[in-house]
Amino acid sequence: MDDQSPPATDASAIDYAWRRLLAAGETAQDSEILSLFETEPGRAERLSVTAAGLFIDLSKQPWSLDDLVTALVLAQMAGVEPAREALFAGAIVNASEARPALHMALRAPAGADFKAAGVAVSGEVEATRAKMAAFARAVRSGELKGATGKAFRAIVHIGIGGSDLGPRLIWEALKPLEPTIELRFAANVDPAELAQALAGLDPAETLVVVVSKSFTTQETLANGEAARAWLRAALGPASDAHLVAVSAAPDKAQAFGVPAEQVFAFWDWVGGRYSIWSAVGLSCAVALGFEVFERLLAGAAAMDDHFRTAPLEANAPVLLALAHVFNRNALGRPIRAVVPYSQRLRLFPAFLQQLEMESNGKSVTADGRPVSQLTAASVFGDAGTNGQHAFFQLLHQGTDVVPVDILAVREATDGDPAAQKKLLANAIAQAEALLVGRPAAEVRAELEAKGLPAAEIAALTPQRTFEGNRPSSFLVLERLDPERLGALIALHEHKVFVEGVLWGINSFDQWGVELGKSLASRVLGELEGGTAGHHDPSTAALIARLKA
């Protein structure tokens, strides 16, 4: 295979495999997931997989074991295996930006030999990792001091999208109960967020880490400038020693005023939403300790190994992708809920929103033709049990079937282990309730046993009936440690990649966010008093109103 170009696939074979999957969906539409457990002995085991310390149970998904085979044939025909090879080989899988997508190189153990479009990169990756480790140790030990000679006690991490969501998730998931270094975040151009991040901090003890792959993002530059002004107002010109930058455009970061030795580079072959493993994770590496960051990388690398080597039928990212594709394409379900039963993982749905919807929210194939299948589902969610008291009503009794991914952590990280059991019990119970539901006859019998009048029983029974047959996946982390968190994120990165291959799209570009960005700068000029440009009548009226 030419490692500079994605693999060729046989269009008619893919088309046939898709038709078979859609036909399987028509049958699945009318069947009961629960009854599949009777007709398919060993279903729970066959549809469960363990990878890199994660257990994933896909047996409550709406597919039969035959449907799984059909889906695996599709994966084979669509070329998941050669595409996977091309990805790891550093081929140009992001054609519209003429780049590889080689985030796996960032978490590979020392001595790896990754090449991006034929150019060796592992050496540079290791050198940057060593620079991050040295910086993290110097800050944590107090050896590196601020302009007034004080050690650093706080970091304000400024970035947005992929330069924010991953670090925020990791900090929230792994932060100690009493951190020695406090880490705060500002992403939104709404000045309220930065104001809150800076509130109460002593500039003399604060590092400001500006993270932007492009170093041109309006929100990040605005917040970076405001934070720089905050430092300068308190500490004068020497305050630049409190500035750190992470970027694939290091010259721009230096021009911003960041001392060269505090600029950490990464590369254009690292997509923003795949960048937590690079120096984008620096704030976390400093605040959590570099050893913790290395363990996160190791967990992701273990998932890479699994994804790269496991056969399709036992491959966790592939099976998860196929379960999601079965819901999305064979059953036409446009939304998926993600519910981590872990307060520390409450930001995981927000992280997945960017990973999945920015990667796979596409309508044209990698070579520019309209897609032949529906692509990414919308993703939403919140921590369980909180979500149960908010949107679960719709999951159980709404008119749309919304597949749910439930994440559970077996051992408590903090607090009372008995309370952890309550959390787990809720996670399991919700999956069961979604699957089994509650038939009208059972509701009626219960109401009769309570002695309710017949009219009341007739009125209440339909309200209290759950039709069930609602699909879910169940993912278990033995405990929420850096390794398993790394594996969980990498699992979803590869799942998204597999889906992209099945749909024939480029999962690594994001042209759909550009139009809004350029219109925003035009509108800003007008709100600031510039001449009115051409707009549709509704927008023109809105600008006139808000300008006034």
Question: Of the candidates 94, 217, 223, 388, which one interacts with ligand F6P according to CB under 6 A?
Answer: 217
Least Å from the CB of residue 216 to ligand F6P: 7
- Write b or e for each residue in 504-517: b if 16 or more Cβ atoms lie within 10 A of its Cβ, otherwise e: bbbbbbbeeeeeee
Instruction: Let me know if 490 is exposed, middle or buried by CB neighbors in 10 A (0-12, 13-18, 19+).
Output: buried
Binding segment for ligand F6P (CB under 6 A), chosen from 2-10, 140-148, 154-162, 444-452, is: 154-162
Does residue number 228 form part of the binding site for ligand F6P (CB under 6 A)? no
Q: How far is the CB of 522 from ligand F6P (least distance, A)?
A: 18
Q: Does 359 bind ligand F6P (CB under 6 A)?
A: no
396 is catalytic: no
- Active-site residue among 26, 143, 261, 389? 389
Minimum Å gap between C-beta 280 and ligand F6P is: 8
Question: Which residues on neighbouring strands pair with residue 268, listed in sequence order?
Answer: none
Q: Which of these segments, 37-45, 157-165, 359-367, 461-469, binds ligand F6P (CB under 6 A)?
A: 157-165
Task: Pick the piece of the chain touching ligand F6P (CB under 6 A) from 12-20, 65-73, 102-110, 213-221.
Answer: 213-221
Stretch that binds ligand F6P, among 197-205, 211-219, 364-372, 468-476 (CB under 6 A): 211-219
Handedness of CA 373, 101, 5, 79 (dihedral sign): negative
H/E run at residue 342: none
Q: Which is nearer to ligand F6P, 56 or 244 (CB)?
A: 244
- 272 sits near ligand F6P (criterion: CB under 6 A): yes
Number of residues engaging ligand F6P in binding (CB under 6 A): 14
Q: Which is nearer to ligand F6P, 155 or 383 (CB)?
A: 155
DSSP state of 161: G
Near ligand F6P by CB under 6 A: residue from 163, 206, 223, 283 = 163
Q: Does 360 bind ligand F6P (CB under 6 A)?
A: no
Among 220, 239, 278, 327, binds ligand F6P (CB under 6 A): 220
Q: Apex CA 18: angle with CA 15 and CA 24, to 5°?
A: 145
For this structure, is 213 an active site residue? Answer: no
- CB nearer ligand F6P, residue 33 or residue 160: 160
Joined together, the tokens standing for residue 84 give: 């996977």
Pick 60 or 213: Cβ nearer ligand F6P? 213
Q: Is 120 helix (H, G, I), strand (E, B) or coil?
A: strand
Interaction between residue 161 and ligand F6P (CB under 6 A)? yes
Rounded to whole angstroms, the Cα distance separating 310 from 318 reads 10
Torsion of CA 123, 129, 135, 138, to 10 degrees: -100
CA 156/CA 164 separation, integer angstroms: 11
Considering the complex, state which of residue 463 and residue 518 has its C-beta at the smaller distance from ligand F6P. Answer: 518
Q: How far is the CB of 442 from ligand F6P (least distance, A)?
A: 48
- Nearest-approach distance from CB 221 to ligand F6P, in angstroms: 9
Identify whether 131 is a catalytic site residue. Answer: no
Residue number, 358 or 481, with CB nearest to ligand F6P: 358
- Helices 11-29 and 65-77 pack at an angle, to 10 degrees, of 160
How far are the Cα atoms of 164, 218, 279, 467, 514 from residue 214, in angstroms, in the given order?
14, 10, 14, 49, 13
Cα within 13 Å of Cα(123), Cβ side: 2
Beta bridge partners of 341: 408
| Catalytic option among 358, 483, 493, 499 | 358
17 contributes a contact to ligand F6P by CB under 6 A:
no
| Distances in whole angstroms, Cα of residue 9 to Cα of each of 15, 30, 83, 244, 504 | 11, 33, 10, 45, 10
Position 273 contacts ligand F6P (CB under 6 A) = yes
Measured N-to-C along each axis, helices 165-174 and 482-503 cross at an angle, to the nearest 10 degrees, of 150
What crossing angle do the helices spanning 290-309 and 316-325 adopt, rounded to 10°?
A: 70
Q: Which residues of 295-323 are buried (b: 16+ CB within 10 A; e: fewer)?
A: bbbbbbbbbbbbbeebebbebbbbbbbbb
Residues 301-330 that bind ligand F6P (CB under 6 A): none
Instruction: State in angstroms the smallest separation of the CB of 97 from ligand F6P.
Output: 11
Helix, strand, or coil (residue 352): helix
Q: Rounded to the nearest whole angstrom, what is the least distance from the CB of residue 214 to ligand F6P in the complex?
A: 3
Give the range of 81-89, 117-125, 208-216, 250-258 binding ligand F6P by CB under 6 A.
208-216
513 binds ligand F6P (CB under 6 A): yes
Nearer to ligand F6P, 217 or 472 (CB): 217
Nearest one of 221, 90, 160 to 508, comparing CA atoms:
90
Which positions are catalytic? Answer: 358, 389, 517
Residues in contact with ligand F6P by CB under 6 A are 160-163, 212-214, 217, 220, 272-273, 358, 510, 513
